[in-house]
A and B are shown apart, each in its own frame.
Chain A
Amino acid sequence: KNEVEQSPQNLTAQEGEFITINCSYSVGISALHWLQQHPGGGIVSLFMLSSGKKKHGRLIATINIQEKHSSLHITASHPRDSAVYICAVNDSGGGADGLTFGKGTHLIIQP
C-alpha cells in the first residue's frame, strides 16, 4: 500500500504570495490527484497527473515520477484559496483500487 506524505501540514501566508505544497509517495503510481477540500467538507478535484505539468488558472501542478514527488503551486494567492489541499494517488495496476490520500495541507491566506 502506498504511503502518501504531504508538507507542510499547515501553511499561513499573505495574500499575493507564491504557495508551494509538496507530496511524496512510496511506490509506483498510475496517477496522482490534487484535491481541494473546503470547510464544509466538499471536495473538488483540481488536477490529475501521470507525468509532467498541468496549469489551470493560478494553479500549477507538477510531478516527477522518478523521484515520486509532486508539487502544487498557487500563484498570486488570494484569501479564497484558503482550504485543505489533499494529494491522493492511484497505485500502479490500472487504478482498480480507490485512492490513497495524504493527510492534507491546511492553507490560510490572510488579506
Chain B
Amino acid sequence: GAVVSQHPSRVICKSGTSVKIECRSLDFQATTMFWYRQFPKQSLMLMATSNEGSKATYEQGVEKDKFLINHASLTLSTLTVTSAHPEDSSFYICSARTLRLQETQYFGPGTRLLVL
C-alpha cells in the first residue's frame, strides 16, 4: 500500500520558536495533502488542505499566519508552526491523496509536538 512518512515523529521546543513538520508521500504523487491536529482525548480535526502548487485552504479558526503550509512538490508538504506556544502542543498528522484515487487517504504516522 501507499506510504506516507512524517518527520520528525516527536519534537520538544521552547515557547516562541518555530517548528517545521514534513510530510512525504514515498511511493506515489500526492496531489492533495491534509493536515490534522489531535488534542489529547479529542477527535482529529482538519486544519488545512493543501494542493500542490497552490495556497493552502485553512479551516475556520486555524490561523494561516501561524500555521504555514507549503506544498511545493507532489511528494512533500510542510507545516511550520511559527512562534509556538504551549497551547500548540498537540499531535499533528498529515494524510495524502492521489488524483487517481480521490477518496482514499493515506495517513502519516504523526508528529507529537510539545512546547515548553
Q: Enumerate chain A interface residues (CB-CB to B < 8 A).
A: 30-31, 33, 35, 40-45, 48, 50, 86, 88, 90, 94-104
* Contact B44–A101 (Cβ < 8 Å): yes
* Contact B104–A48 (Cβ < 8 Å): yes
Residues from chain B with a CB closer than 8 A to the CB of A99 are: 34, 44, 46, 95, 105
Tell me the bound Cα distance from A84 to B89 in angstroms: 21
Given contacts A86-B44, A97-B46, A103-B42, contact A45 B107 (CB under 8 A): yes
Interface size class of B (residues with CB under 8 A): 20 to 34
Q: Which residue of B lies closest to A103 (CB)?
A: B43
Given contacts A86-B43, A101-B44, contact A94 B102 (CB under 8 A): yes
**Among A35, A42, A90, A94: residue with most chain B CB under 10 A:** A42
Sample (26) of A-B pairs whose CB atoms are under 8 Å apart? A30-B103, A33-B105, A41-B91, A41-B93, A41-B110, A41-B112, A42-B107, A42-B110, A43-B93, A43-B107, A43-B109, A45-B104, A45-B105, A45-B106, A48-B103, A48-B104, A86-B43, A86-B44, A98-B34, A98-B36, A98-B105, A99-B105, A101-B43, A101-B44, A103-B43, A104-B43
**Among A43, A48, A103: residue with most chain B CB under 10 A:** A43
Q: Which residue of A lies closest to B92 (CB)?
A: A41
Q: How many CB-defined contacts (below 8 Å) exist between A and B?
A: 57
Answer whether residue B80 sits at the interface, using C-beta atoms and an 8 A cutoff: no
Tell me the bound Cα distance from A7 to B17 in angstroms: 40
B26 to A: closest C-beta gap in Å: 15
**Among B42, B95, B105: residue with most chain A CB under 10 A:** B105
* Contact A101–B45 (Cβ < 8 Å): yes
Tell me the bound Cα distance from A103 to B109 in angstroms: 19
**B 30-51 to A, binary, CB cutoff 8 A, 1 in contact else 0:** 0000101010001111100100
Q: Which residue of B lies closest to A95 (CB)?
A: B103
Tell me the bound Cα distance from A86 to B91 in angstroms: 16
Residue from A43, A95, A100 within 8 A of B110 (CB atoms): A43
B89 to A: closest C-beta gap in Å: 13
**B 64-103 to A, binary, CB cutoff 8 A, 1 in contact else 0:** 0000000000000000000000000001010101000011
